[in-house]
Structure 1
Amino acid sequence: MKFNINMWLRKDRISEDGRAPIYCKINYKGQIASISTNVRVAPEEWNSKGYGRITSSGELSQIHNTVLHNMRAKLERIYNALISFGKLVSSKIVKDIYQGNRKVHYKLVEIVEEFIQYREDQGLAYNTLKNSRNALRHLFNYLEKVNNKNLQADDIDRCFGDDFLLYLKKDCEVSHNTAVKLVKLIQAALDYGFKRDYIETNPLKSFEAKMRNEIKPIDFVDDQDMERLKQAEFEDKRHERVRDIFYFQCRTGLSYCDLKAFQSEAHVKFAKQGPFIQQQRQKSSTYSVVPLMPEAITILEKYEYKLPIISNQKYNKYLKEVADLCDIRMSLSSHIGRKTFATWLFNNEVNAVSVMKALGHSDLKTTLRHYAEILPKKVIEDFRQAFGLM
């Protein structure tokens, strides 16, 4: 075994009270290093199977077993970190780091990279991971600008967050709120590093920057462009399939990851009022309920209820080609389909709570802030109707 940790009882050192000390043995490629756990136990209360544990009942035994477990877990974290960051590894180095006799310095970018990998392993949503990688890219560029690409995480000063924020806003022309989110992602990465003993403290723990109440126009496909999409004929079947999937998004509000997970057998339900989609969202685990409109049903029937989903990268790339072919001036993306669906509902007098449920949101504020685009035509019609001017 390449790396192994075991607890063993030193029966050759039984004291007058009949108890023997428990030692932790680190084995890496046959190299052995031992550490005292400062826990003593009677030989008959020790089970050497597995990692080793105390078998007697009682609160003190539970505490001691917890001490042994935590010690083993910390040693494993140290080993995994050394391997992950390509550092020199030996049983003695692991022991020295555990005892505080050796300090391993980790680069800031190393910790951020591992944090992003951890998020990927957690299966977070595509856009969340995309934002994480975007933060890493900006961080690389910033460190290169300040001529400190190998900045050690321990050497970060408390001004780093403010300086990085200013760089994002001034040099990269990133909006204030987006810049704050990017810095907070680095802050979260350092917190991840702190919990794994890569750094002694999180130097960005005190970073605070309030989000501003920025209201941006919501991008969506209007009725005229929707008709262009619907009537368009393509020579390439690839463009036709992408158009159909996007149109399906515009009439169901499903995000890309939910489209990818969509299975008609599991997610299409039937009621007296008609068929509907009930699906647990990949991003938030909340459920969306979307009545299937005739146009959406037509697309499902066209593909025999098995949507021809491609990778998100290719999908967004081909969407831009579809936009050009249909003479649509805006840059289409999968998320615009979701916003188009919400805008369509709001402007056809669908209740805001129903829109929230259809989108699978758990908070109405999110729906109203990021998806509720009321068209001028709708506002004028509401006023005229309210004052009897129709």
Structure 2
Amino acid sequence: MNNSMHISFQLKKFRTDEKGLSPIFVRLTINHQRTEFSIKRSVAPEKWLSSAGIVKGTTEEVKNLNSYLTTVRLKLQEHYRTLLEANKTITPEIIKNTYFGVTEKSKTIVEAFQYHNEQLRQLINKDFSPATLVRYNTACRHTKEFMQWKYQVSDMELKQINHQFITEFEFYLKTVRKCDHNTTMKYITNFKKIIRLCIANEWLDKNPFVNYKISLREVEREFLSEEELQIIADKQLHTERLENVRDIFLFSCFTGLAYADAKKLSSQHIIMGMDGDKWIKINRTKTDTRSSIPLLPTAEAIIERYADDPRCSVNNRLLPVLSNQKMNAYLKEIADLCGIKKNITFHLARHTFATTVTLSNNVSLESVSKMLGHKSIKMTQHYAKILDRKVSDDMKILKNKLNKINMSKQVYKLAK
């Protein structure tokens, strides 16, 4: 785009004052955009040479006025060059404001967060889930608390963010907030998205994340074994609420649905597949990616069990799913009753589906990835790594069995 600027001086003859003088205006034109403003000088119309944009005459007063016009032109050109060299957006209005010393107020960190979070809020259930907004609001709160802790201020200008700010923020999250490494990295990632937004909107010139690397540590995800699944399924529970929670948890173990997706599951998500069997077809709440899951007999039986449940029919849902907090609390109670020492949460069911129910039974990684609604098969490969540990454990059992047999003699005979 051609950002060349044209400067001309215009006499507003129709604005003649009581002395017969008309005001001189400067006109700026850039890319067909135009603005005008008064230079606070006036002259008699008959003395104005419109073709040259100067005053006619040789008097000292005329010389001073023409010299002032030259000064105005030079100042405008200097402001233009400064913005051009800084690769800033250039418009006639910006040049005008710069000339008068009116600069745009620098955006602050909190303002940028609020701008982002408000847009996100308006896109809830369209492009984002409510949980995403909660996470960014929490990230904003942590950032404000960090600035208060480190700099004793409630907000800072964006231009004050540098590499040290980010590393100190990481230190604060790990020490003061007691966040583990991966949780810390997730909040830093949220903050990085705000920075990218600021750069895109030209609120920030430099990227403070240039020399900072966000790295997540691999975490071993727990899952239930086949035996543990059977223990939970067979356990006689003493209350209906625990039975309901157990059923819904088992349903997720045999479908891989996350909590939010199990909660919103309705009859419209159950379709007849090309194989003549029932399938779950649902867009994941977290990523909006499609999950396609054949309905296994255990999962189908649980749906049928709640077909006439009034809690489901009133909300057009297939399962009476409680709040995530209550579900997890009751699952811990169930784990205690079953004598299972693992930290059972609702999300553990998704891991169990990926490992014990599918991959351990030779379902391909590609099929598991599609059922889980992963955007990339790399996300699913982590579960395969978990199963490598299971293979190792199985082989150790085999080695122990072989050691009980006098294999050395058999090997010797084979060698001879």
Give the TM-score normalised by the residue count of structure 2. 0.60
Given candidates 133, 139, 144, the residue that maps to 2:143 is 139
Given candidates 158, 167, 172, the residue that maps to 1:162 is 167
Given candidates 305, 320, 323, the residue that maps to 1:311 is 323
Given candidates 325, 335, 351, the residue that maps to 1:323 is 335
Question: Cα offset for 1:291?
Answer: 1.7
Letter paired with 1:373 = I
Q: Distance in 2 between matches of 1:354 and 1:242?
A: 28
Match of residue 155 from structure 2: 151
**8 Å CA contact retained: 1:180, 1:209:** no
Structure 1 residues without counterparts, runs of 5 or longer: 1-12, 15-36, 41-95
Match of residue 188 from structure 2: 183
Give the TM-score normalised by the residue count of structure 1. 0.63
Question: Cα offset for 1:349?
Answer: 1.4
Q: Secondary structure at the match of 1:38?
A: strand
Match of residue 211 from structure 1: 215
Q: Judge which range, 245-254 or 268-277, deviates more.
A: 268-277
Q: Distance in 2 between matches of 1:121 and 1:319?
A: 34
Match of residue 342 from structure 1: 354
Q: In the alignment, does 2:347 pair up with 1:332?
A: no
Q: Distance in 1 between matches of 2:385 and 2:393?
A: 16
Match of residue 46 from structure 2: none
Question: Cα offset for 1:246?
Answer: 1.2
Letter paired with 1:319 = L
Question: Cα offset for 1:297?
Answer: 1.1
Q: Distance in 2 between matches of 1:316 and 1:133?
A: 23
Q: In the alignment, does 2:124 pair up with 1:111?
A: no
Q: Distance in 2 between matches of 1:266 and 1:139?
A: 40
Match of residue 251 from structure 2: 248
Letter paired with 2:190 = L
Question: Cα offset for 1:167?
Answer: 2.8
Given candidates 334, 337, 356, the residue that maps to 2:369 is 356
Length, aligned pairs only? 297
Q: Does the C-alpha gap of structure 1 residues 200 and 346 become closer, same or farther in structure 2, counting only changes over 3 Å?
A: closer
Encode CA deviations 1:136-195: one digit per residue, 9 max, x unaligned: 343244233225241323362312112212333454454545433322311222343555
Q: Does the C-alpha gap of structure 1 residues 267 and 147 become closer, same or farther in structure 2, counting only changes over 3 Å?
A: same
Q: Percent identical across equivalent pairs? A: 27
Encode CA deviations 1:328-349: one digit per residue, 9 max, x unaligned: 3333323211111101111111
**8 Å CA contact retained: 2:139, 2:187:** yes
Q: Does the C-alpha gap of structure 1 residues 342 and 129 become closer, same or farther in structure 2, counting only changes over 3 Å?
A: farther
What is the 5 A alignment of 1:1-390?
Answer: 38=34, 101=102, 103-104=104-105, 107-123=108-124, 124-125=128-129, 128-154=132-158, 156-158=160-162, 159-172=164-177, 174-193=179-198, 199-201=203-205, 204=208, 206=210, 208-211=212-215, 214-272=217-275, 274-304=277-307, 306-344=318-356, 345-369=358-382, 372-374=385-387, 376-379=389-392
Encode CA deviations 1:4-33: one digit per residue, 9 max, x unaligned: xxxxxxxxx99xxxxxxxxxxxxxxxxxxx
Q: Secondary structure at the match of 2:361?
A: coil
Q: Which one has the largest radius of gyration?
A: 2
Q: Distance in 2 between matches of 1:326 and 1:217?
A: 23
Question: Cα offset for 1:299?
Answer: 0.4
Q: Distance in 2 between matches of 1:113 and 1:372?
A: 40
Q: Does the C-alpha gap of structure 1 residues 306 and 132 become closer, same or farther in structure 2, counting only changes over 3 Å?
A: same
**8 Å CA contact retained: 1:126, 1:257:** no
**8 Å CA contact retained: 2:354, 2:368:** yes
Q: Secondary structure at the match of 1:288?
A: strand
Q: Secondary structure at the match of 1:209?
A: coil
Q: Does the C-alpha gap of structure 1 residues 167 and 266 become closer, same or farther in structure 2, counting only changes over 3 Å?
A: closer
Structure 2 residues without counterparts, runs of 5 or longer: 1-12, 15-32, 37-96, 308-316, 403-416
**8 Å CA contact retained: 1:277, 1:291:** yes
